[in-house]
Amino acid sequence: MTSVRPAEPEELARLLDATREGRVQRVRADELARHLGLPEPAPTAPAPEPRKSERGFRRDPDALERGPPLPLPDPCTEALLDCARFPNFPMATLVLALLMYFCFYTIDGARSFTAPVPLPPEFLPNLVFYAFAHASADHLLGNLGGLLLFGIPLEILSGPWTLLAVFFAAALLGALAEVLLMVGAAWWVGEGCTGLLGSSGGVMGLVGGLLGYLALNWQESFAGIEPACGRGSGLAARCVLLLLGLVYVSADIPPLLQGGGRVAHAAHLFGALAGLVTGLVAAHNVVVRRGERAAQALAALGLLAALAVLGALLFAQMARWADAGVERECFR
């Protein structure tokens, strides 16, 4: 039997006053036991030092009691998580939008950057710069909305250089196809000199670029929603997005077959096709699988071949215009 010494009231009062005044922040167990006349508690063993492999896994002290660390996600999920952190600020998209606004309201881009038909040699750079020229404020706002809607996700997923490559490749290929189609259909005959302006070909290229990214990363896209939405939800989301993109692009086919009017439907379709191929070549590939590098190389060669063929046809047509004196009649 252990004898307990009764605590002195003066000692307890002094200890209580010291605690209230803040001079004693924490009362140790052995000191309290000594003042109360209780046996001192046995010293507790220090907490075990975590192993080297467990250091830094969890920050809370109960980490060791919860069992081994969770397994790391597979490379596909890890890459998708990296994309979800928005590593790329859409600076290139905003720069393109500001250039379009500046060209319309400041330097009269409709007069400076229009790609005319017939096309004189000095206007060849306008086959790219026409994307910054717009006929009206409504025309500008519509293309700006499409640029922001489709350009921001593409730049976030694949970076600014992919966005610029898709946009300008689509604008150039769309312009070549539209000019040659206008010549083949003789739409400009009887209207004097007409021209091509507007960034809708490049915007349609951004739609194609997103479809190219989706095709290149088919298994990885929307895979992260399946744990929350159920099995097969990722595949359903991919199919819905693909269907929406195809419907959006194919909406230009019926007007083109009916004559086209004054809308550059050929530039829209060929721009979307160029954006699709450029997206397959330049978009970020989350997981590289067998045969994808070879397919990307073939797609790049096909795009270069299409640009070479259309460029050769355009130069041949420009030579015929020069021999017939059409340029001098339109641009004297």
- Tens digits of residue pLDDT in 89-130: 789 999 999 999 888 887 765 667 777 777 778 888 888 888
Quick one: average pLDDT of 172-178? Answer: 91
CA-closest candidate to residue 209, choices 256, 254, 255, 159: 159
pLDDT above 50 (res 286) = yes
pLDDT at 33: 58
CB count, 10 Å around CB of 276?
27
More confident residue, 1 or 141: 141
In a domain, 18, yes or no: no
pLDDT at 188: 45
State how far the Cα of 138 lies from the Cα of 126, in Å rounded to an integer: 22
pLDDT at 149: 92
In a domain, 42, yes or no: no
Q: CB within 8 A of 209, min separation 6: which ones?
A: 150, 154, 158, 162, 163, 166, 170, 275, 276, 278, 279, 283
In a domain, 137, yes or no: yes
pLDDT at 13: 62
In a domain, 62, yes or no: no
More confident residue, 228 or 294: 294
Q: What are phi and psi of 115, to 5 degrees?
A: -90, 105
State how far the Cα of 102 lies from the Cα of 38, in Å rounded to an integer: 85
pLDDT above 80 (res 159) = yes
In a domain, 6, yes or no: no
Q: Which tokens hold the place of 259? A: 């004559």
Q: Which runs of consecutive H residues, i.e. helices, occur in the chain?
A: 9-20, 29-36, 75-84, 91-105, 109-112, 126-129, 137-158, 160-185, 200-216, 226-229, 233-250, 253-257, 265-282, 292-324, 326-330
In a domain, 120, yes or no: yes
pLDDT above 60 (res 7) = no
Q: Are 170 and 275 in contact (CB under 8 A)?
A: yes
pLDDT tier at 257, thresholds 50, 70, 90? confident
Q: Which amino acid is at 22?
A: G
Q: Are 127 and 176 in contact (CB under 8 A)?
A: yes
pLDDT above 50 (res 240) = yes
pLDDT tier at 161, thresholds 50, 70, 90? very high
Tens of pLDDT, residues 294-313: 989 999 999 999 999 999 98
State how far the Cα of 232 lies from the Cα of 278, in Å rounded to an integer: 29
pLDDT above 50 (res 73) = no
* DSSP conformational letter for 224: G
pLDDT above 50 (res 84) = no
The count of structural domains within the chain is 1
| The overall pTM is greater than 0.85 | no
In a domain, 126, yes or no: yes
Percent of the chain with pLDDT over 70: 65
In a domain, 190, yes or no: yes
Structural domain including 228 reads 75-330
pLDDT at 298: 93
Among 224-228, 266-270, 271-275, which stretch is predicted with the lowest mean pLDDT? 224-228
* Highest mean pLDDT, choosing among 165-169, 221-225, 306-310: 165-169
pLDDT tier at 332, thresholds 50, 70, 90? very low
Q: Are 267 and 199 in contact (CB under 8 A)?
A: no
Question: 102: domain CATH number?
Answer: 1.20.1540.10
